[in-house]
Chains A and B, each alone.
Chain A
Amino acid sequence: MISRRDFLKSAAKVVAGASIPLAAIEILAPARVHALKTDSSIRWAFLVDTYKCVGCGFCVKACKNENEIPYDANVTRTWVERYVLTKDGKLYADSPKGARDGFTGTKIDLGMGHYQDIKKEDIKKAFFVPKLCNQCDNPPCVQVCPVGATYQAPDGVVMVDRKWCIGCGYCIMACPYGVRFFHPKYHTAEKCNFCYHRITKGLKTACVQACPFGARQIGNIKDPNDPVAKAITTERVGILKSEYGTKPQVFYIGLDEEVR
């Protein structure tokens, strides 16, 4: 039989013991709070107008040259997809060489050397969709990196530390948008970083500059006077794969349900 004194003693011990780990967490927390408070006044965001894109592929060409991605290797930081919906309900989509050389014919690349020519009378809808890294607010590629080689900079851009990357490829598997690949030369994970060396100098990204039709735009979403921020916040824009909860920061005008 336990006495009242012993019961109270044990109870006090349990409460004290249980509160120690909680207190320890409380001590760690302010550093984290401080880190969260030092917020950047810049948050880069991208706006793509799919109505304006003509599939010329100048963006892909410029990106590969600017970011030193081997030109003939079939990998690219940005690419353009073509979607063709026919009147009999079929969907065709292709992006030969990531549209590095643009779309110069009506034949759809089905892969394995097969092509499908679609007559203009059969087309219901057809359009181009440029793709690039979404610089997600909740980047799944960063969560899975076991060595801290990929991270989100304070201005929202997700980058890869080539010195730190061990080439495990977890991030390549984790990205729902398939924007990551191995750099053929450095053998580390590679991705679009909004031309970080350009945007931090006040320039536009190589793809934005190369686009003759203004289909691609980049801006600071935290600046209320930024025309791109205004467009994103006031116009009807869509994002890719919202169901993943990644909060992508590349916004699309004229996004169709067929686009994945």
Chain B
Amino acid sequence: MKNHIFRPLWVVIGLVVLILIIRPFYVPKDFGIHERGYMYGWYRKSNIEDWKKVSVKYQGKEYCGSCHPDKVESIDRTPHAVIQCENCHGPALEHPSDPPKLAIDRTREQCLRCHAKLVYPSSGRANIRGIDPDKHNPGVECVMCHNPHNPILEGLK
């Protein structure tokens, strides 16, 4: 057969050989078939460790209580004991070193997440005391009158 037919063939063969040579260097040693076989377990194993390295942002109530026990103790005597500090105070991250101060969410919308009355009979929402946001002092921040750390109505400011 003529040379001009073979020439592109050699190029293709050359490329295949080149890829096969590069492949062992390029593909990480831990990439391959793991526990769950080829269908579900074909991956780079060290990626599992990569995901474990993601930083924890929400430290939890106990972390807050180790420095602010008085605050945790006082809120624990109220129905708001079920709410994590960081739900309103924001993720602690590395507080107190970084950030030294947390941005507190004092907005009306934050309270309305639970306290906008929705009469949904088969949901826990129906059992939460709530208001109609359009009728109950619209535009005013809830914390003007209510203390979120002592939300019972007797504790009105």
Q: Which residues of A contact B52 (CB under 8 A)?
A: 196-197, 200-201
Q: Contact mask A11-39 → B, CB, 8 Å, 1/0?
A: 00000000000000000000010011011
Q: Which residues of B contact A106 (CB under 8 A)?
A: 118
What's the nearest-Cβ distance from chain B to residue A253, in Å? 12
Inter-subunit contact B43/A149 (CB<8 Å): yes
Interface residues of A in 48-62 (CB under 8 A from B): 50-58, 61-62
| CA distance in complex: A162, B48 (Å) | 11
| CA distance in complex: A255, B48 (Å) | 32
> In this assembly, does A86 line the interface, its C-beta being within 8 Å of a C-beta of chain B?
no
> In this assembly, does B133 line the interface, its C-beta being within 8 Å of a C-beta of chain A?
yes
> In this assembly, does A223 line the interface, its C-beta being within 8 Å of a C-beta of chain B?
no
Contacting A35 at CB < 8 Å: which of B41, B51, B109? B41
Inter-subunit contact B113/A197 (CB<8 Å): no
| A101-B109, A126-B123, A197-B51 as given contacts; A210 in contact with B43, CB under 8 Å | no
Inter-subunit contact A143/B40 (CB<8 Å): yes
> In this assembly, does A221 line the interface, its C-beta being within 8 Å of a C-beta of chain B?
no
Inter-subunit contact B40/A142 (CB<8 Å): yes
| A161-B44, A193-B51 as given contacts; A40 in contact with B35, CB under 8 Å | yes
> In this assembly, does A152 line the interface, its C-beta being within 8 Å of a C-beta of chain B?
yes
> How many residues from B make CB contacts under 8 Å with A?
46
Interface residues of A in 163-203 (CB under 8 A from B): 163-164, 193, 196-198, 200-201, 203
A sample of 25 inter-chain contacts (CB < 8 A) reads A35-B35, A36-B35, A36-B37, A50-B123, A53-B124, A54-B124, A61-B87, A65-B57, A67-B54, A101-B109, A102-B114, A104-B113, A120-B119, A125-B122, A126-B119, A148-B43, A151-B34, A151-B36, A151-B47, A152-B40, A154-B36, A196-B54, A197-B51, A198-B56, A212-B87
In order of increasing CB-CB distance, the 10 nearest A-B pairs are A151-B43, A102-B113, A126-B120, A197-B54, A104-B112, A54-B125, A120-B119, A212-B82, A56-B113, A161-B47
In the complex, besides A56-B114, A102-B109, A154-B36, 15 extra interface pairs with C-beta distance below 8 angstroms are: A35-B34, A54-B124, A66-B57, A84-B120, A126-B118, A126-B119, A128-B123, A143-B40, A159-B51, A209-B60, A210-B58, A212-B82, A212-B84, A215-B124, A254-B122
Instruction: Spell out A's residues near B (CB within 8 Å).
Output: 32, 35-36, 38-40, 50-58, 61-62, 65-68, 84, 101-106, 120, 123, 125-128, 138-139, 142-143, 148-154, 159, 161-164, 193, 196-198, 200-201, 203, 206, 209-210, 212-213, 215, 254
